[in-house]
């Protein structure tokens, strides 16, 4: 059976990362807030996405670094819950995500006088870091959905991570790479929208891989 | 020495493929590691494994040593203690001795690398010989609360490097150069970590009269106050009131370390009337340490201060539930309630141990999560990958690098 061919092949890339230290640290919520407003976007990106790759096997996923620290170190469970439940997929840029995180902490501080007084213990401060991404082409290049589904089974989860998370938020490509290719180069807007509609932040990367394969195979009747 | 292909069954083909991809990007570059000793100590141990693997991947890697006399190494030992924040008197004469030997090394060491990778403070002054090549300083020490005089002395050299590397974010100072987080790693194929046959494990238990009919709590550490062995016994005693169990405290102590011998005597005295406490002196016996970890029900690391605490990764790699203090590099290895339990006190440690012994399903889940966490983040293959990314970062200042 012949499958619809794309105008351009899809070349899978992968992404490896190195954590860069900034030497900046916060011991209170006020310090955390001030630094969240100052640090580079790659630092906000690091602390909201690191867990996805480092704890990729866990389900449910642990929350982002800010939520974890606020809950486990400062004991501010309510703020931790608010930070953990920020729906990252709704924010098209790191700038917008940073503003939402800052606003969430600011709102909480306005109404929680005691929260301002809390300090982390020595050695448990929040340490700001940055992600440096290295993007490399892989050997996988596909021209139709059948090849695409087959490649999804073989690529590393780093590659899935790159095309779904990094492309959308860090590289600001206006959506994930898979949806964009399927909608624009293959002309299948409906399938592109279905993939865009997945919430990648509430599942492991392996579960995400399985969901992608299932949706694409349903489409081609495999 | 293990070949890179032997890691494939453990980490997967794709991880090793990525290593090869990165190594190919480093063709034409020579990496020169420089430290002060070829044997003994963590730095030599890691370089002994890493240099052959980098060479096998096709990265032109060399390893050179500096020279120094007794006086020089006495001074660098003082630096080491002072950087750890221990009380130490460092005099102007000590700095003179350090510089005198450093100048000799600057004259004698042949710098041939496109990238010069200097480990720890002993060879730090070699950077004065820099030309148009790239220089990295790798700090393996906990410098979260250093002696300021020693730190300022070293910082003049650090500032001349292109990048610095630390093992934990807690050790990261503000510097005018780029600095990266690269934690250490364990080698899953080493005697300390490889899977052992059950007969080997049983033989070690028999040798030390440890029974399998009650839970085994184990802390592997040298006998040092900072590892809090007396605190571990106190936690065990609290647990023992409710759950019959055994405790193993195993590790080495240097014969030239009077403080260590004193701690060992105190520990023995505290354990004297309890046949379920096993105090074992096991310096450099990696297979026995490995066997004890595999045989354990719960692994403990109740340190008061810790450089990185790789015994935690060793325990997690054996899928054991671990109770450990929230210090140094330990919180990087354990996310509380996800891949182990963190504690801050004897009571907290005892409570966590009781929870694990009473909830074996929960304990098993934490152990399984911990093992996957180590597989993804604390094996030698990740360390190799980070080092190659670090080398590549020297030629790219941006946050997103297209190779």
Secondary structure element (H or E) that encloses residue B189, with its range = none
| pLDDT at residue A181 tops 80 | yes
Cα gap B68→A211, rounded to integer Å: 60
Does B319 contact chain A (CB < 8 Å)? no
Residue B226 near residue B303 (C-beta atoms within 8 A) = yes
pLDDT at A62: 63
- CB distance B180–A14 less than 8 Å? no
Q: Are B313 and B291 in contact (CB under 8 A)?
A: no
Structure tokens at A59: 């389900």
Residue B247: per-residue pLDDT? 98
pLDDT digits (tens, 9 = 90+) for A154-170: 998 889 999 999 988 88
CA B324, CA B352: separation in Å to the nearest integer?
9
Categorize the per-residue pLDDT at A2 as very low, low, confident or very high, splitting at 50, 70 and 90: confident
- Cβ pair A14, A135 in contact under 8 A: yes
Q: Which residue has the tokens 């934490």?
A: B366
Residue B390 near residue B165 (C-beta atoms within 8 A): yes
Using an 8 Å Cβ cutoff, are B400 and A170 in contact? yes
Q: State what percent of residues in chain A have pLDDT above 90.
A: 68
Nearest CB to B377: which of A54, A72, A155? A54
Q: How far apart are CA A125 and CA A21, in angstroms?
A: 14
pLDDT-derived band of residue A55, with 50, 70 and 90 as boundaries? low
- Chain B contacts of A133, Cβ < 8 Å? 399-401
Identify which of B89, B97, B100, B95 has the alpha carbon closest to the alpha carbon of residue B71: B97
Picking from A120, A104, A121, the residue whose alpha carbon sits closest to that of residue A112 is A104
- Where would I find the beta strands (DSSP E) of B239-335? 246-251, 277-281, 298-301, 322-325
Determine the pLDDT at residue B120.
94
Spatial distance between the Cα atoms of B13 and B279, rounded to a whole number of angstroms: 42
Top pLDDT among A31 and B226 is at: A31
Look at residues B357, B255, B352, B351 and name the one whose alpha carbon lies nearest to residue B296.
B357
Chain B residues lying within 8 Å of A132, measured CB to CB: 389, 393, 399-401
Contacts of A123 in chain B (CB under 8 A): 144, 170, 326-328
Determine the pLDDT at residue B372.
Answer: 92
Burial class of residue B330 (count of CB atoms within 10 Å of its CB; 0-12, 13-18, 19+)? buried
Beta strands in B284-327 (DSSP E): 298-301, 322-325
* Smallest Cα distance from B68 to chain A, Å: 32
CA gap B233, B346 in Å, rounded: 9
B323 DSSP β-pair partners: B300, B341
Strands A126-142, A10-26: parallel, antiparallel or unpaired by DSSP?
antiparallel
How confident is the prediction for chain A on average, in pLDDT? 91
Q: Are B220 and B314 in contact (CB under 8 A)?
A: yes
Q: What are the DSSP calls for B131-160, one per residue?
A: -SSEEEEE--S--SS--HHHHHHHHHHHTT
Q: What is the C-alpha separation between A77 and A203, in angstroms, rounded?
A: 22
* pLDDT of res. B225: 87
| pLDDT above 80: residue A108 | yes
Longest C-alpha distance within chain A, in Å?
Answer: 67
Residue among B162, B184, B188, B186 nearest B175 (CA): B162
Measured in angstroms, the CA of B374 and the nearest CA of chain A are apart by: 10
Residue B159, min C-alpha distance to chain A (Å): 14
Does residue B179 contact residue A23 with C-beta atoms inside 8 Å? yes
Q: Where are the alpha helices (DSSP H) in chain A?
A: 29-38, 41-54, 65-72, 77-84, 94-111, 145-154, 157-161, 177-180, 189-196, 205-220
**pLDDT of the residue at B257:** 63
Distances from the Cα of A7 to the Cαs of A4, A182, A188, in angstroms? 10, 10, 12
Best of B85, B144, B169 to substitute, by most chain A Cβ atoms within 10 angstroms, is B169
The model scores a pTM over 0.80: yes
Residue B387 to chain A, least CA–CA distance (Å): 9
- Cβ(B331)–Cβ(B167) below 8 Å: no
- Residue A98 DSSP symbol: H
| All residues at 6 or more sequence positions from A191 whose CB lies less than 8 Å from its CB, including other chains | A145, A182, A183, A215, A216, A219
**pLDDT tens-digit series, residues B151-203:** 999 999 999 999 999 999 988 999 999 999 999 999 999 999 999 999 999 99
Contact call for B338 and A18, based on CB within 8 A? no
Beta strands in B132-263 (DSSP E): 134-138, 163-166, 178-181, 216-220, 246-251
Backbone angles phi, psi at A137, to 5 degrees: -70, 140
pLDDT at position B1 is 77
Question: The tokens of A47 are what?
Answer: 């602390």
Tokens of B249: 């405290």
- Which chain B residues touch A72 with a CB distance below 8 Å? 336
Identify the CA nearest to B380 among candidates B14, B41, B9, B11: B11
Q: What is the average pLDDT across A130-148?
A: 94
| DSSP per position, B54-91 | HHHTT-EEEEEE----HHHHHHHHHHHHHHTT------
Give the closest-approach CA distance of A140 to chain B in angstroms: 13
Q: For residues B148 and B166, what is the distance between their CA atoms, to the nearest angstrom? A: 18
CA distance A136 to chain B (A): 5
Task: Note whether B18 contacts A16, CB cutoff 8 Å.
Answer: yes
Given pLDDT bands bounded at 50, 70 and 90, which one contains residue A58? low
Q: Is B393 at the interface with chain A, CB within 8 A?
A: yes
pLDDT at A202: 80
Query: B328 contacts in A (CB within 8 Å)?
Result: 123
Report the sign of the C-alpha dihedral through residues B383, B388, B393, B396, in that order: negative
Chain B residues in contact with A22 (beta carbon < 8 A): 172, 174
Inter-residue contact A191 to A148 (CB < 8 Å) = no
Cis peptide, bond prior to residue A60, ω within 30 of zero: yes
CB contact under 8 Å between A18 and B174, yes or no, is no
Torsion angle of C-alpha atoms A44, A48, A54, A57, degrees rounded to 10: -170
Query: Which residue positions in chain B have pLDDT lower than 70?
Result: 40, 253-258
Cα atoms in the Cβ-side hemisphere of radius 13 Å centred on B44? 9
């Amino acid at each position: 059976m012949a499958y619809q061919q794309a105008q351009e092949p899809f070349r899978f890339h992968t992404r490896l990362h190195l954590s860069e230290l900034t030497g900046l640290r916060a011991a209170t919520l006020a310090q955390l807030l001030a630094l969240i407003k100052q640090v580079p976007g790659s630092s906000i990106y690091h602390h909201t996405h690191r867990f996805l790759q480092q704890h990729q096997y866990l389900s449910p996923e642990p929350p982002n670094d800010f939520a974890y620290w606020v809950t486990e170190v400062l004991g501010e469970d309510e703020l931790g819950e608010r930070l953990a439940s920020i729906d990252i997929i709704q924010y098209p840029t790191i700038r917008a995500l940073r503003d939402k995180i800052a606003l969430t902490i600011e709102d909480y501080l306005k109404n929680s006088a005691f929260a301002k007084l809390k300090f982390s213990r020595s050695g448990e401060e929040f340490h700001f870091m940055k992600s440096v991404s290295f993007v490399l082409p892989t050997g996988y290049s596909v021209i139709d959905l059948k090849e695409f589904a087959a490649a999804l089974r073989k690529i590393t989860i780093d590659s899935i991570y790159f095309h779904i998370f990094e492309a959308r938020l860090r590289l600001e490509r206006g959506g994930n790479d898979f949806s964009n290719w399927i909608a624009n180069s293959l002309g299948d807007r409906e399938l592109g929208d279905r993939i865009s509609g997945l919430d990648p932040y509430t599942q492991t990367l392996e579960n995400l891989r399985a969901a992608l394969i299932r949706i694409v195979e349903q489409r081609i009747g495999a | 020495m293990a070949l890179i292909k032997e890691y494939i069954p453990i980490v997967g083909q794709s991880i090793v493929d990525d290593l090869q991809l990165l190594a190919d990007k480093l063709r034409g570059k020579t990496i020169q590691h420089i430290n002060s000793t070829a044997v003994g100590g963590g730095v030599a141990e890691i370089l002994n494994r890493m240099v052959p693997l980098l060479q096998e991947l096709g990265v032109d890697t060399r390893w050179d040593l500096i020279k120094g006399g007794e006086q020089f190494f006495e001074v660098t030992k003082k630096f080491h203690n002072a950087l750890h924040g221990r009380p130490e008197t460092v005099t102007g004469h000590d700095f003179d001795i350090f510089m005198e030997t450093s100048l000799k090394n600057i004259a004698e060491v042949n710098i041939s690398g496109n990238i010069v990778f200097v480990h720890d403070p002993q060879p730090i002054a070699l950077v004065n010989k820099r030309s148009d090549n790239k220089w990295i300083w790798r700090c393996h020490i906990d410098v979260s609360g250093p002696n300021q005089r020693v730190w300022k002395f070293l910082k003049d050299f650090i500032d001349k490097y292109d990048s610095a590397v630390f093992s934990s974010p807690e050790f990261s100072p503000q510097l005018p150069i780029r600095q990266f987080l690269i934690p250490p790693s364990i080698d899953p194929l080493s005697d300390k970590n490889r899977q052992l046959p059950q007969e080997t494990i049983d033989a070690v238990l028999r040798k030390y009269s440890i029974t399998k009919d009650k839970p085994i709590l184990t802390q592997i550490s040298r006998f040092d106050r900072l590892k809090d062995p007396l605190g571990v016994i106190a936690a065990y005693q609290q647990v023992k009131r409710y759950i019959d169990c055994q405790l193993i405290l195993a590790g080495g102590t240097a014969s030239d370390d009077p403080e260590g011998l004193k701690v060992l005597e105190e520990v023995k005295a505290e354990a004297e009337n309890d046949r379920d406490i096993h105090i074992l002196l096991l310096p450099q016996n990696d297979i026995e340490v490995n066997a004890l970890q595999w045989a354990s029900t719960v692994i403990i690391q109740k340190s008061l201060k810790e450089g990185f605490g790789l015994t935690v990764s060793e325990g997690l790699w054996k899928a054991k539930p671990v109770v450990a203090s929230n210090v140094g590099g330990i919180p990087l290895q354990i996310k509380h309630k996800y891949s182990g339990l963190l504690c801050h006190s004897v009571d907290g440690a005892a409570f966590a141990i009781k929870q694990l012994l009473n909830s074996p399903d929960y304990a098993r889940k934490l152990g399984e999560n911990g093992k996957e966490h180590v597989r993804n983040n604390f094996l030698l293959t990740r360390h190799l990958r980070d080092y190659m990314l670090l080398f590549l970062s020297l030629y790219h200042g941006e946050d997103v690098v297209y190779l």
